[in-house]
Amino acid sequence: MGLRDQKKVMTMNEISAECGVSLSTVYRILRDPARANNPLRKQVRAYLIQNGYLPEFHSDDSMTIVNVITSGQHLHQSSFHFLLQKVCLERQINLVLCEHTNLEKTIRSVKPSGLIYNVCPDSFYEKLPSVIIHAGYNSAMCTSVGEDDIGGISAIFAELKRLGHRRIFYFSPDLYDDDQMFQDRFIPDRIKRCYVLNGLEFKEELLCFRKISEETHDAVMGDVIRYFLSMPDRPTAIVTPGDVYCEAFYQRFRPLGIRIPQDVSIAGYGNIRRYKEFMTPNAPLQRVVKLEPPLTTCDMPEEMVETALDFLLEKINNPLVRNKKLLMMPDLILTNSIGPVLAK
């Protein structure tokens, strides 16, 4: 029988040399782990934890984290931020919303403990622990948590096909940017797969991508709806990557006598009505929760946001922890906004 390997016991001098800090710094952190109040000292604390010199440490102090979003105030991001607000309120964590272009200025102002990116840039702010809300990201670069949004959109397509729909119109904001990566449901080539996977014939005319922002929302949606109405063989169903884009179809169709779902089925993504208590008045988002019939949509799993936050807190308390990657399937919420194709 071989001898069991035993972990070498290090002296405090060896630990301080390994971590590149003074002996007194190691001593203070061993005596009081809460004194690790800067990134270097937190790395020392993490080293001590990983080598068995300290138990797992979790700070009870209130902290601030920043949710980094796309520049331009695209409304589709609100669903994630609403849910993150809810979870942070429950955990008594301060949450700040920040556009990516203003990140360094915001960091200097609020001094956050960590970042949650709801957009995926080519480079990250490396001085703070970060988690990316995009499951396709390389775990060698960062920790990522995301939903299988193409799986969710494909599930909507499958349900529409079951109801007899063969021509499905898909509208999405055009978010192409060389410096940022977006969720798959905003990428044309990914959406084409939803048609193929469900055995539906794909035609380019069924995809409509337009530049859109909060300021141009109403005007752009008006153009999109006119395009839809002008199609010779009008599709019987409409799907969008965000609930907020469905509201305009409801409003424009009603005066024209186009019934939902008898004449056209409509489905979105995000289940925004779940977060109405976080919305500001008189916004397009506010109108979504009042749609009749309520909107068929995909709901982001609450545990996804909780897991992302757990991963971030773990990185804050232990900067040496390995990156992780997690993919979750969204929940399909079926309502009367979709229905079977009626014989003409």
156 and 273 share one domain: yes
295 and 306 share one domain:
no
Q: Is residue 222 part of a domain?
A: yes
pLDDT at 39: 54
Q: Mark whether 190 and 289 lie in a shared domain.
A: yes
Q: What is the reported pLDDT for 6?
A: 44
pLDDT at position 43: 67
Averaged confidence pLDDT in the chain: 81
- pLDDT over 80 at 297, yes or no: yes
- The answer to the question of residue 233 being in a domain is yes
154 and 133 fall within a common domain: no
340 falls within a domain: no
d(CA 342, CA 344): 6
Residue 214 counted as domain residue? yes
Six token digits for residue 196? 């193929």
73-77, 90-94, 330-334, range with the lowest pLDDT: 73-77
**What share of the chain has pLDDT > 70, as a percent?**
80
Q: Are 296 and 264 in contact (CB under 8 A)?
A: no
Residue range 200-219: mean pLDDT, rounded: 87
**Section 325-334 average pLDDT:** 89
Q: Which helix (H) or strand (E) holds 169?
A: strand 168-173
Q: Can you tell me which residue has the tokens 């009042």? A: 290
Cβ atoms of 287 and 254 closer than 8 Å: no
pTM of the model: 0.72
Which residues make Cβ contacts (< 8 Å) with residue 74, sequence separation at least 6?
Answer: 173, 175, 212, 213, 214
Q: Would you say 302 and 88 are in contact if contact means Cβ atoms under 8 Å apart?
A: no
> Considering only 39-48, 295-304, 322-331, which range has the smallest mean pLDDT?
39-48
- Domain membership of residue 335 (yes or no) is no
pLDDT tens column, 250-279: 999 999 999 999 999 999 998 888 877 666
Q: How far is CA 91 from the centre of its chain?
A: 19
Neighbours of 289 (CB within 10 A): 17
Over range 46-65, report the average pLDDT.
70
163 and 259 inside one domain: yes
Q: How far is CA 166 from the centre of its chain?
A: 30
Both 72 and 178 in a single domain?
Answer: no
Residues 142 and 113 occupy one common structural domain: yes
* 59 falls within a domain: no
Segments in the chain forming alpha helices (H): 12-19, 23-31, 39-50, 78-91, 103-110, 149-162, 188-197, 217-230, 247-253, 284-288, 302-317
d(CA 29, CA 19): 12
Q: Are residues 267 and 306 in the same domain?
A: no
Spatial strand order of the sheet with 207-210 comes to 207-210, 168-173, 237-239, 265-267
Best-predicted range by mean pLDDT among 224-233, 267-276, 280-289?
224-233
In this prediction, residues 14-30 reach a mean pLDDT of 81
Q: Identify whether residues 111 and 230 lie together within a single domain.
A: no
- Find the range with the poorest average confidence among 28-37, 86-95, 106-115: 28-37
Residue 283 has what pLDDT? 65
Domain limits at 25?
A: 12-50
Least confident of 6-20, 93-107, 239-253: 6-20
270 and 168 in a common domain: yes
Confidence class for position 211, pLDDT limits 50, 70, 90: confident
User: Mean per-residue pLDDT for 184-204?
Assistant: 85
Asked if residue 156 is part of any domain, the answer here is yes
Q: Which residue has the higher pLDDT, 257 or 216?
A: 257
Output the pLDDT for position 181.
52
Domain count, the chain: 3
Q: What integer is the mean pLDDT of 284-310?
A: 86
Tokens of 238: 């409409």
Whether the pLDDT of residue 5 is over 60: the answer is: no
> Do 313 and 252 fall into the same domain?
no
Output the pLDDT for position 2. 38
CB neighbour list of residue 90: distance below 8 Å, 6 or more residues apart = none
Poorest-confidence range of 169-183, 187-201, 230-244, 278-292? Answer: 169-183
CATH assignment at residue 270: 3.40.50.2300
What band does 300 get if pLDDT is binned at 50, 70 and 90? confident
Instruction: Report pLDDT for 94.
Output: 84
More confident residue, 76 or 94: 94
Q: Do 70 and 196 reside in the same domain of the chain? A: no
Average pLDDT, stretch 135-149? 72
In a domain? residue 57: no
Residue 214, CB-side half-sphere exposure with 13 Å CA sphere: 13
Which pLDDT belongs to residue 170? Answer: 95
pLDDT at 172 over 70: yes
